[in-house]
Structure 1
Amino acid sequence: MDGMSTQHRPRVGRPPHHTGPEELVQTAAMARRFYLEGRSKTEIAEEFGISRFKVARMLETALHNGLIRLEVRLPAELDAERSDALRSRYDLRHCVVFTSAQQDPGGAVLATQRLGSVAAALLAEIVTDSDVLGLVWGPEIEAVGRELTVLARCRVVQLCGVTPLRPVDNNAVEAVRRAASIARGPVYPIHAPLLLPDGATARTLRRQPGIAEAVGQFQHLTKALVTVGAWEPGLSTIYDALGADEREQYRSRGTCAEVVGQLLDADGRPVAPELTERIIAIGFDELRRVPDVILLADGAERAAATSAALRTGLFNGIVTNTAVAEHLLR
C-alpha cells in the first residue's frame, strides 16, 4: 500500500464539462441550419466534423438550457391544445377546434360562421381532384358554402333532403351548387324533403330521376361533411318536423341526437329504425364505407349530441368549438 487512504486519493478522469463560447456559437450555427434551413443532422455533422449523435445531443442540451427556444404560433381562433387532445382521445384523422365566445351577443351566429370558415378551409386543404365530396343539409353547411373560395376539382353530392318546413330549400341546394361551382365539377342535388309522411311516399321520391342519380353517387363518396342535431326545438330538423306526441315518444326512448335523419341515444345507438323508411338521406351503412367522414358541431347545447354521434364510430374527423371540445374531453 502506498499509505494514502482511498478517500484521500485525487479523482482521475475528465474534468466537469464547461460550455464555452466556441461551443455556444457552434450550437447556435447548428440550430440555424437545422431549424431554419432544414438541413439534416447528418449534413450538419459532416460540416462541423463531428458525429450526428453529438449534433443531436448538442441541440437537445441547447433546448433544455434555453439557448434555443421553439415557439408554435397559430391563428388566434385555432385551439391547438384541445385539437390535439381530442384527436388522441377519439383516434381521429382530422380534428380542428376553434375558439368561440357564445356568451357574447350574437355568439351562436358567430360560432356557426366561424365553423363554416374553418370547415371551408379544411376542405380546401384535404379535398383532391379524385374526391367525391358529400354534404348534408343544415345551417352549418350553408355557412361552409358561403365561406368556400377554393376547392379542388371534384364531384359534389347532397347527402339528404331538407327540412319538411322548407320542402325545396334554395339555401340548402345553393350551398351544394356553390361548392360544385368552385370545384368546377358536376353537382348532384336532392330537391326533396328529408322526412316524408310515410315510407311509400319516400320510396316514390327516391325513384325520381334527379334524386335517384344523387343517391347513386353515395357509393362513390370519398369525403363527407355531416352535422349533428340535438333533441330540442331549433336544434334538429327531425324534431321540428314532428308533432309533440312523436317528439316525446322518441325522447322517452332516450333520443338525444340526430344524424342524417337517424335518431340516437347517448351511447350512439339508433332508437327509431321505423323513421328510416320515411327519410331521404344517406344511411349509416353507406357512411361507414366513406374513407373520411367529418362531423361539424358548434355550441354547448349540441355537446351531448356530439358525444353520441362520435360513439357511432362513423366519424374519423371533427370541426368544433371549445365548448363542445371541453365536454368531449371531460
Structure 2
Amino acid sequence: MTDPEHTRLLVDVSTDYYLDGRSKVEIAKHRGISRFQVARLLAEARESGVVKIEIAAPAHLDTGRARVLAERLGAREVVIVPGGSDRDSTRDLLARELARVIAARARADTTVGVSWSRTIEAAVRSLGTLPPCDVVQLVGALPVHGSGNSLELIQRFSRMDGVRTWPVWSPLLVGDPATAAGMRQQPEIAAALDRADSLDLAVVSIGAWNATGSTVYPQVTEPERRAATENGAVAECSGRLFDARGRAVVTPLDARVVGVTLDQLVRTPEVIAIGYGAEAAAGLRAAVLGGIATVLVMDDAAAVELEHLLAAPPGDVVTDP
C-alpha cells in the first residue's frame, strides 16, 4: 500500500470510528481487516496528527487553584473535582475525571500498571478503551462488599482490542509470609510483579491508614494495625504503608502482601494517584514527598485540607516518628 493509500485508510477508519460512531468490529468487517489492525490504525492516526483530540476541561474545574497546589506540593499535576452530595456520588465524579486523566496519558506500546480501589474500578468502566499496550495488575484481589476486585478489573482490560494483560492470580493479603512468598514465585504472578519494574505509567489509590480510608485496614489484625501506627504509618497504597514523608513503613503486614512495592512505584516515570475526603490529604501529600505519585486526582475536601496542611508550619505538618 502506497503512502497516499495508507493515509486515506487512516482518515477513513478514523472517520468511521470518531465521527460515524462505528465500533472496531464493524469497521474491521466493512474494511476487510482485523480488529487489531483497526486499533493500530486509530493509534497511528492519533500519533501522526491525522486525528487531533481536544480536551476541554469543564468550567467547574478550577485549574488555577489546582496549578498552585501542584506547585506547592511539587507534583506534576493536580486535578480537583467538586464533591458530590455523598461519598458514593463523589466517588463517581472522581472516577469519571480519573478516566479522562488516564486516557490523556496512556500511549500505544507502553506498560501501564493498575492497582485496585472502588474509584479505579469505576474509572475503568468509564474509560471505554486504551491504545494497544500492556496492562499489569499491580495487586492481588481484595474482594470488598458491594464492589468487584482487581481480578475483575484486569479482565475488563483483557477485553480491549490490542491490550495485553499481566494478571496476579492471588489474594492481596494471604495468611502468612511463607504463603505470600510462594504465591509471588508462581510463574504468572512472578511475571506480572517483575513487569512492574518497567512500568511507564501507574494508577493507584491513596487511603488514610484507618478503618474508613483504607480497604486493607479492616482486613488485618489489631496488633498489625497498632504496629503500623506506632511506626508512623499515615497512609496505604496497594497494601503498602508509608509515613508522612512518604517513606515505607515496614511491618509484619508487608510480608503478607502480594503486590507492587513502593520502590517500584517510585521508579515509575508517571504515577496517577487518587484520593478523596479530608482524611486522604496527608497521604496524598506524603505520596508526592516520597516520589510515590506524580499526578494527584482529588475532591474538593481533600484539596481544602491539603491547603491547610501546606499553610501550617512545617513542624506541625510532617514530623519524624
SS at match of 2:301: helix
Fraction of identical pairs, as percent: 34
**Which runs of at least 4 in structure 1 moved beyond 4 Å after TM superposition?**
none
Q: Which moved more, 1:249-258 or 1:314-323?
A: 249-258
| CA displacement at 1:238 relative to structure 2 | 2.7
| CA displacement at 1:225 relative to structure 2 | 0.5
| CA displacement at 1:76 relative to structure 2 | 3.7
1:216 counterpart = 2:194: yes
User: Where does residue 133 of structure 1 map in the other structure?
Assistant: 112
Q: Contact 2:139 / 2:150 at 8 angstroms: preserved in 1?
A: no
User: Where does residue 290 of structure 2 map in the other structure?
Assistant: 312
Mapped partners of 1:161, 1:231: distance in 2: 19
2:239 aligned to which of 261, 266, 274: 261
1:285 counterpart = 2:268: no
1:15-34 map, 5 Å: none
| CA displacement at 1:145 relative to structure 2 | 1.4
| CA displacement at 1:85 relative to structure 2 | 1.1
SS at match of 2:179: helix
Mapped partners of 1:320, 1:326: distance in 2: 10
Could you tell me which amino acid in structure 1 is paired with residue 226 of structure 2? Answer: E
Mapped partners of 2:232, 2:271: distance in 1: 25
Instruction: Output one character per residue of 1:90-142: Cα deviation in whole Å (capped at 9) or x when no partner.
Output: 232232111114xx3xx211111111111111111111102111001211211
Mapped partners of 2:281, 2:157: distance in 1: 28
1:295 counterpart = 2:278: no
Mapped partners of 1:274, 1:246: distance in 2: 7
Q: Which moved more, 1:313-322 or 1:258-267?
A: 258-267
1:206 counterpart = 2:190: no
1:122 counterpart = 2:105: no
1:148 aligned to which of 96, 118, 127: 127
For structure 2, the 5+ residue unaligned runs are: 1-55, 309-321
Mapped partners of 1:291, 1:87: distance in 2: 17
SS at match of 1:296: strand
| CA displacement at 1:183 relative to structure 2 | 5.2
The change in CA–CA distance for 1:245 and 1:165 in structure 2 (over 3 A counts) is farther
Q: Contact 1:268 / 1:310 at 8 angstroms: preserved in 2?
A: yes
Q: Which moved more, 1:244-253 or 1:213-222?
A: 244-253
1:127-276 map, 5 Å: 127-163=106-142, 170-182=148-160, 184-276=162-254
Mapped partners of 1:182, 1:284: distance in 2: 28
| CA displacement at 1:285 relative to structure 2 | 1.9
Mapped partners of 1:250, 1:282: distance in 2: 18
Could you tell me which amino acid in structure 1 is paired with residue 89 of structure 2? Answer: L
Mapped partners of 1:254, 1:213: distance in 2: 32
For structure 1, the 5+ residue unaligned runs are: 1-72
Q: Contact 1:115 / 1:143 at 8 angstroms: preserved in 2?
A: no
Mapped partners of 2:262, 2:143: distance in 1: 21
Q: Contact 1:195 / 1:278 at 8 angstroms: preserved in 2?
A: yes
| CA displacement at 1:152 relative to structure 2 | 1.5
| CA displacement at 1:81 relative to structure 2 | 2.2
| CA displacement at 1:170 relative to structure 2 | 5.0
Query: How large is the RMSD of aligned CA atoms in angstroms?
Result: 2.2
User: Where does residue 87 of structure 2 map in the other structure?
Assistant: 108
> Which one has a bigger Cα radius of gyration?
1
1:78 counterpart = 2:61: yes
Q: Number of residue pairs matched? A: 252
SS at match of 1:307: helix
Instruction: Output one character per residue of 1:33-74: Cα deviation in whole Å (capped at 9) or x when no partner.
Output: xxxxxxxxxxxxxxxxxxxxxxxxxxxxxxxxxxxxxxxx84
Mapped partners of 1:121, 1:183: distance in 2: 19
The change in CA–CA distance for 1:284 and 1:179 in structure 2 (over 3 A counts) is same
The change in CA–CA distance for 1:191 and 1:220 in structure 2 (over 3 A counts) is same
